[in-house]
Structure 1
Amino acid sequence: MSLVTFGWNQNSQLGHGDSEIRVSPCSVDTLESSPILQIVCGSRYTVALSRQGNVFSWGRGDDFQLGHIKGTSLSSVPRMIKSLEQVKVVAIAARGAHTLALTGDGKVFSWGRNDEGQLGLGTRDPCRTPTEIAWFRDNGVCVKKIACGRVHSAAISLGGDLYTWGCNDEGSTGHQTSESQVVPGEVLGLAKVEQVACGSRHTLVLVCRERQMSWVDPSILNTENALYAFGWGMYGQLGVGDRRNRSAPSQVVFSRDALPTTDKVRISSIACGYRHSLAILSPCQGQSDTFTDDDDEIPFNTLWAWGWNRYGQLGLSEKLASSCCETPMLVSLPHSAVTVAGGGRHTVAVLQRSSDSAKRMYSWGRNDDGQCGIGFASPEQREPIRVRSSGDDVQAVAAGWSHSAALLEIPLEAFDETLNRDLENVPGGMGRSPSTPFFSAIRRPSELAPTSTFRKVYLRASSRLSEIMTYGNLDAGFAQFLNTLILLLNILASLRMRVGLPQNTVIGLVVPGACLTVFVSNIVFGVWADMKSSPATTFTALPHGINTVIFFAYTMLIMTPVYEKTGDAQLAYRTGLVSCFLLGVLELPCLFLVTMMRKLIPRAAMMSAMAGVSITFIAMTFTVQIFSNPAVGIIPLVVVLVCYGSNVQLPYKIPAGLMALMLGALIIWGAKMLDIDLMVGTVAPPSAVDLNASGKKFLFLPTTSLPEVIQGLLDPRTWSYITVVIPMLIVNMVTNLSCIEGSAVHGEAYDTKKALAMDALITIFGSLVGNPYPTCIYIGHGAFKSMGATSGYSYISAVSVLLLGITNGASGVMQFVPEVAGVGILMWIGIVVTAQAFDRDDDYTEEASSSKSHAAAVALGLLPALAAWCLQYLQATIPACSAVISNSTVSPHHIPFDQVMKRLEANGIFVFGLISLSRGYLLSSIFLSSMLVEIVDRQFKNAAMWMLLAASLSFVGAVHSFELDGQGINSNYGFPSRTLGEFPLKYCFAYLGSAFVLILFEIRENDTSIKRMLQRCKKRISRTFQDSDLKKTRYRPSRSIDREDFDERKPLRSDRGPSYAT
């Protein structure tokens, strides 16, 4: 059998030799020579059992849960556990950070984390290698089944007795005591136990009825066996009708309302997730009339789920879905359930199809790391969906906290034939999904037997076109195109009004050059995505082009000041070209610092910087534009939210973005026919001026600007205005790194150095064809991925933008279609990217004793971007008011910008703080968020280092430095930077003082750690005598453990997340 894994892989728990996330099943090649019999998943590691009885493990091993003698902290590929070679292992179990193994002669071995006695060895010390649980041997108990919870364990003896041990805080072991059990103890009141399953802190037990009841409640199903639950019940995971904890077994019943049948049923399988539970019910022999699947003889097994449902892990329909279900609910499935596994917040199941008895894999629930294996990452998948690359026969599935595994009977290469058969079985032909071809009339290559070279080329081209022209690619391509269209309109307006460039230069040189740059970048990154894709995994191209934030920075901070001080528009444009060229050149040597930057900057800080730009310059900018013109903008926005927010499909294959534009155009033109002006307060678009200025010329082909760049490099006046290039380079690097990190979060790891090298070369190329704006990787990869886009959207955008640039199409399009009708897509992208920054941090659950959520750090990192966005509006407002007041009919005076700012500060509006926080806002976001991440993780020394970095950046004016004059705000750099009010020096002092305070906390933390270590040594010495007596005495449930021992358990320390979570 072939083993495939998918999902989160930060700790190499997928076994592929790397830490790249997989959003589709990928074969574990190193185990091809060892047929796998069983697969289980811990929180951040995986264990497999071969047919020969050998045990393999890989992933995170900082608590010795891998069982290896050497190299215990991490294993990126499966490694055999050598100490188990001499015994015949027949079953394994894992959860949290400990592992159990069952041998053929009924012995149980355990290893890993043991702070609650979950290994059953009589102590609380972790165990590096598999060690037999001597209690079973000493008491003559032969074990036939085992199960692991997060910090407790269970076993069933040959006689059907249930034994549990470990943490019992909420009654998860079923013993009538609140103390942890360090050795196995029998759970009284249960006999003839058939199966046991353990969740995070609750347990399910399946028991054979000793005698059948003569009377059955007509409201519940008549089951041949009985299901009991005990332990943690806060989320309804016990299924007993309330959310109270149970320390004694309580029966779980199944409602007849969901499955109206009088036949007797049997509970054939049970499973537990982190906070949810699952059970499969089968018809008893000879009573399968109601349970059969129509014309098929295969009995239809039903799946029931209950407990926590925040991310849809119960698989219930929207009508039945709620945050928690306190009783079992029937899951609607297309086929008969065979087996099921519960993960941290997701579920994986094997279903048997009635038509050909093929066993398929389905999944649902949390999918932020691709743990559902459906080809892309998304916040949640509420209803069961087919894991497409799963083969004909799936024998077993397993689920960890955020990764999954499955055993297949066919190799991964044989999936294509299965997929084709699946498509043929869809009623009405090919179903509508993000990957469905828009032109469904395009036939498959297999349907047209090629007889000539021309026909082969035609078929290949048709096949490739169908891959590109899918719904997901059209939606994402349209969003990318619209973003570029809006950017071009800003270029048309800004370069004319703020830089003073003549119309023919903007339309004939700048716009074609910018469009050619975007065309090349989209093609390059699209091809790169194709090269990384495979039949099993499809990559989404990184969105790349001219960044809106960089566009405003280069226009407002470089070209506009040059034009205002010299009045030479050509010099301003030339300075922009040279600055763009130099940024690309300087980016190349920075490639060698990338690896260090990614290691030092926490992921939460990267995601926070990206989210800050998304929620402000993308989402908020377009939101206010929509609400400025509600009659035209809100209705198309609702269409976008419905289609993307709930995956509603429009009729006639119409992409959501196109429908939004069509609605906006219909509204605006309908209003014009009725002589109603809906676009109140907007200025006339520049399109009419553009078209008139272009004369009869139709094509505007790009031309070289190399002479302009050379002239600018030789002109000493140019160099005095490009001091802003270095900060812009840092901003560009941080933006690129954040976006690359964002793509890795969604399962697509692109090589950082290659990405930055291509970005630098494209920036240099753009400066040589008339484009004064650097390129960078866009925010939005995760949103495009969730749309189902691949590399095709990048090609669609490339061709559309090139045609737009060389025909001056931006002006023509906006004469007929209102811009506000289409910006809802961009607003949605900004919202999704922001939400994903917080979703990612949810992996660090409250279950971990020491690792807390980094959501607060993400929120802190948003504040500098918010300040920059507010300042942008303030900067635009004051000149506008000044222009009105200085009108000759009102007053002949011009209001200086700096005087207004000082007056606002004097009146308690604190604009100086707003300006300071906005200067170098991406850098401020990084070091503030990183500092809080380290504080949350109690790494005060690392937090102090971030404050020292902040002090250095403040000292030279890279952040918080500004000068005011009558025209606006200027940057000021120096060593040190001296500005109005000495703000850089003040910030430097504040950050140095903060670093000193954090160092004091670090010293205090180490001092406390030393005291705790001495206390543990003292307790360990006094506990030695208790341990020796405990091993000689059979455990009785009534016996308690010293409460001090219970309180002395050491919480796990982690740098970025919990060592166990499920």
Structure 2
Amino acid sequence: MNKPTSSSLRWFVPGDLNGFFGLVVDNLSILGFIAAALVGIFGFPAEVVFTRMFPGTALGVLVGNLIYTAMARRLALRSGRDDVTAMPLGLDAPTSIGMALLVLGPAFAQFRAGGMDEQAAAMATWQLGMASLMVMGALKLVLSFAGDAITRIVPRAALLGSIGGAALVLLGFLPLIETLRSPVVGLATFGLLLYVLVAKGRLPVRIPGVLLAFIVGTTLYYGLGLAGLGAPGFKVPEAVAFGITPPWPTLAFIDGLPHTVPYLSLLLPFGLLMVVGGINVAESARAAGDDYRTRDVLLAEAVSTLVAGLCGGVAQTTPYIGQPAYKHMGARMGYTLLTGLFVGIGGMLGIVSGLVQWLPLAVLAPIIVYVGLDITVQAFQSTRREHAIAVALAFLPSVAYLLVIKLGNPAWIAPQRFGELYSSVEGHGLPDLATIVVLGNGFIITAMLWASALVAMIEQRMRLASLWLLVAAVLTLFGVVHSVHPQGGVYLPWALDGLARTIAWQFAAGYAVLAGMLALLSLQKAETRA
């Protein structure tokens, strides 16, 4: 085989079309869920989502895919191979959905509760979203030079278990409720997705299975709705006016930086998990025959996230784990170029906004449920069997956070009543609601610390387990985990008083006492076996 040259290396091959459809559907589904969650669940102004958040977010996808396309072309020329497949880049499903459900939506509700009008609250939330991306992008940029060291320090059970719990409870359960609010559409779409993605069933037409599920679900939704047979509340969305909304760089994110403080316990793990994911993706591509430098892969996703945040985006980009799958489709480097141009330019022209606005939440939610289930299964499959209990333990703080989301809804419990329940001490121990809230605040970091300590215990490394627990104790005192503020804010421990002070010191003392016990147990002489 002749070594390809710059002029002979083809930009597109037939397999790139399959890769393009698959990657575009992934990105559109995530954008669609962000819009549906913010507008449909939290009442966020659609105009701000489509004209301010989406263009910058789409630009990040464009920049990242252009970089990965260039990396693939460079690797093909350097290696003398014409079968190199580019790394697929898109919006990360868990953290993008987490941003909508756990950061942007609740922040908008809090701004409104604080007296802001709808437009002012929406703009403040948008600035918070930009600032969040800048924080995560900066973290990824720094950690791209130390990603391998992080994976050596933090056990895989802790990394995957913490996100697995969030995936099962938040990406699985919450979207499942949205799926079943329109049972005919939701169950039909979800079942079809399971048929093509899990059961690997055959289809009568040669189109991507996810795309077919979207077409069937959307047709059912509008067909039943227009016939008067749909679920209550059906309405045809207003058409989005096509217009050029260029994602210009802006320093508006600076105003949002102070508002990121209560959410750092979410944002920092989100960024860390993308670094770990990028390392795993690079290893996966290397196993498939494409030897990309891990640092280049991580730097590209960090740069694209920073560009998105600087230009108004609110969802971080990441390389997708499916690079070998795209290679098996016959895709090379053209599919990432096509995807980047379609999503990026479509985001600026309003085409992407128009497409996602017509995708019903009952059709989008099932793919998110599947993503949550898949991530949960991966958390168990990718860890050692003896560490499985640590993965399961890491799920529990996510359950508490789910309860916090539901119980903290002012439509369910009035804020005054919530405050009374939070501080009412009846019988022995701390108040139930306060315990649930404190366990849920900082749940991802809590899960990582718990699982890391348990893995160390399983491996009979008691001093290391003690160290993890001492870290938990220190972080507890400052509210990074187990924040006593219902909104999850950080603080100085000596500034607390009353019940808040009692809770913080009780939790920190609990970790410290357990750390001391394990440290003492580590002094035992090892058993000698005959």
TM-score range, shorter chain: 0.7 to 0.9
1:469 match: secondary structure:
helix
Worse overlay, 902-911 or 559-568: 902-911
Q: For residues 472 and 507 of structure 2, what CA distance do their matches in structure 1 show?
A: 8
The yes-or-no answer on 1:995 pairing with 2:515 is yes
- 1:557 is displaced (CA, Å) by 6.2
- 1:813 is displaced (CA, Å) by 3.7
AA paired with 1:996? G
Q: For residues 246 and 274 of structure 2, what CA distance do their matches in structure 1 show?
A: 27
Deviations 1:369-415 (A, max 9, x none): xxxxxxxxxxxxxxxxxxxxxxxxxxxxxxxxxxxxxxxxxxxx79x
CA distance 1:671–1:536, shift in 2 (3 Å) = closer
- 1:855 is displaced (CA, Å) by 0.9
Deviations 1:331-353 (A, max 9, x none): xxxxxxxxxxxxxxxxxxxxxxx
Task: Give matches, 1:320-469, under 5 Å.
Answer: 460-461=10-11, 464-469=12-17
Structure 2 counterpart of 1:518, from 30, 41, 61: 61
Say if 2:172 and 2:368, in contact at 8 Å, map to a contact too: yes
CA distance 1:634–1:554, shift in 2 (3 Å) = closer
- 1:806 is displaced (CA, Å) by 3.2
Structure 2 counterpart of 1:646, from 179, 199, 202: 199
CA distance 1:660–1:588, shift in 2 (3 Å) = closer
Task: Give matches, 1:132-171, under 5 Å.
Answer: none
The yes-or-no answer on 1:940 pairing with 2:462 is yes
Worse overlay, 919-928 or 897-906: 897-906
- 1:480 is displaced (CA, Å) by 3.0
- 1:808 is displaced (CA, Å) by 3.4
Structure 1 counterpart of 2:405, from 864, 872, 875: 872
Q: For residues 87 and 450 of structure 2, what CA distance do their matches in structure 1 show?
A: 31
Q: For residues 787 and 862 of structure 1, what CA distance do their matches in structure 2 show?
A: 34
The yes-or-no answer on 1:860 pairing with 2:393 is yes
Question: In the alignment, what sits opposite 2:98?
Answer: 549
AA paired with 2:517? V
CA distance 1:950–1:684, shift in 2 (3 Å) = farther
Q: For residues 544 and 719 of structure 1, what CA distance do their matches in structure 2 show?
A: 22
CA distance 1:580–1:645, shift in 2 (3 Å) = closer
Question: In the alignment, what sits opposite 1:737?
Answer: 275
Q: For residues 484 and 937 of structure 1, what CA distance do their matches in structure 2 show?
A: 42
Q: For residues 799 and 576 of structure 1, what CA distance do their matches in structure 2 show?
A: 24
CA distance 1:475–1:565, shift in 2 (3 Å) = same
Q: For residues 804 and 896 of structure 1, what CA distance do their matches in structure 2 show?
A: 46
AA paired with 2:209? A
- 1:988 is displaced (CA, Å) by 1.1
Q: For residues 737 and 667 of structure 1, what CA distance do their matches in structure 2 show?
A: 39
Q: For residues 358 and 315 of structure 2, what CA distance do their matches in structure 1 show?
A: 30
Question: In the alignment, what sits opposite 1:919?
Answer: 441
AA paired with 1:547? S
Say if 2:158 and 2:391, in contact at 8 Å, map to a contact too: yes
- 1:601 is displaced (CA, Å) by 0.5
Q: For residues 165 and 73 of structure 2, what CA distance do their matches in structure 1 show?
A: 30
The yes-or-no answer on 1:972 pairing with 2:514 is no
AA paired with 1:875? G
AA paired with 2:505? L
AA paired with 2:16? I
- 1:911 is displaced (CA, Å) by 2.8
Question: In the alignment, what sits opposite 1:781?
Answer: 321
- 1:862 is displaced (CA, Å) by 1.7
Task: Give matches, 1:108-127, under 5 Å.
Answer: none
- 1:578 is displaced (CA, Å) by 4.5
Q: For residues 318 and 494 of structure 2, what CA distance do their matches in structure 1 show?
A: 33
Q: Which protein has the bigger helix share?
A: 2
Question: In the alignment, what sits opposite 1:767?
Answer: 309
The yes-or-no answer on 1:667 pairing with 2:220 is yes
CA distance 1:859–1:807, shift in 2 (3 Å) = same
Q: For residues 906 and 465 of structure 1, what CA distance do their matches in structure 2 show?
A: 70
Q: For residues 869 and 792 of structure 1, what CA distance do their matches in structure 2 show?
A: 41
Say if 1:477 and 1:794, in contact at 8 Å, map to a contact too: no
Q: For residues 723 and 976 of structure 1, what CA distance do their matches in structure 2 show?
A: 18
Question: In the alignment, what sits opposite 1:605?
Answer: 158
Structure 2 gap ranges (5+)? none
AA paired with 2:34? L
Deviations 1:183-214 (A, max 9, x none): xxxxxxxxxxxxxxxxxxxxxxxxxxxxxxxx
Q: For residues 993 and 477 of structure 1, what CA distance do their matches in structure 2 show?
A: 51
Say if 1:956 and 1:976, in contact at 8 Å, map to a contact too: no
The yes-or-no answer on 1:701 pairing with 2:245 is yes
Bigger Rg over Cα: 1
2:114 match: secondary structure:
helix
- 1:659 is displaced (CA, Å) by 1.5
Question: In the alignment, what sits opposite 2:419?
Answer: 898
CA distance 1:776–1:703, shift in 2 (3 Å) = closer
Say if 1:558 and 1:576, in contact at 8 Å, map to a contact too: no
AA paired with 1:860? L
Deviations 1:294-313 (A, max 9, x none): xxxxxxxxxxxxxxxxxxxx
Q: Which protein has the bigger strand share?
A: 1
Q: For residues 705 and 816 of structure 1, what CA distance do their matches in structure 2 show?
A: 29
Deviations 1:488-537 (A, max 9, x none): 33455588x46xx6x65544333322222333234434554665676677
Structure 1 counterpart of 2:114, from 533, 542, 565: 565
CA distance 1:593–1:565, shift in 2 (3 Å) = farther
Question: In the alignment, what sits opposite 2:22?
Answer: 475
Count of matched residue pairs: 510
Q: For residues 544 and 817 of structure 1, what CA distance do their matches in structure 2 show?
A: 17
Say if 1:742 and 1:782, in contact at 8 Å, map to a contact too: no
Structure 1 counterpart of 2:484, from 962, 966, 975: 962
Say if 1:960 and 1:984, in contact at 8 Å, map to a contact too: yes
- 1:644 is displaced (CA, Å) by 1.7
Q: For residues 131 and 513 of structure 2, what CA distance do their matches in structure 1 show?
A: 40
Say if 2:71 and 2:86, in contact at 8 Å, map to a contact too: no
AA paired with 2:387? H
Say if 2:68 and 2:87, in contact at 8 Å, map to a contact too: no
The yes-or-no answer on 1:509 pairing with 2:52 is yes
Task: Give matches, 1:780-859, under 5 Å.
Answer: 781=321, 785=325, 788=328, 794-795=336-337, 797-802=339-344, 804-809=346-351, 812-813=354-355, 817-841=359-383, 853-859=386-392
AA paired with 2:454? L
Q: For residues 345 and 151 of structure 2, what CA distance do their matches in structure 1 show?
A: 38
Deviations 1:590-638 (A, max 9, x none): 5555443222111221221232232233232332222222211112222
CA distance 1:895–1:593, shift in 2 (3 Å) = same
TM-score normalised by the chain length of structure 1: 0.43
AA paired with 1:624? I
Say if 1:563 and 1:572, in contact at 8 Å, map to a contact too: no
Q: For residues 271 and 389 of structure 2, what CA distance do their matches in structure 1 show?
A: 24
Once the two structures are aligned, what percentage of the paired residues are identical? 20
1:617 match: secondary structure:
helix
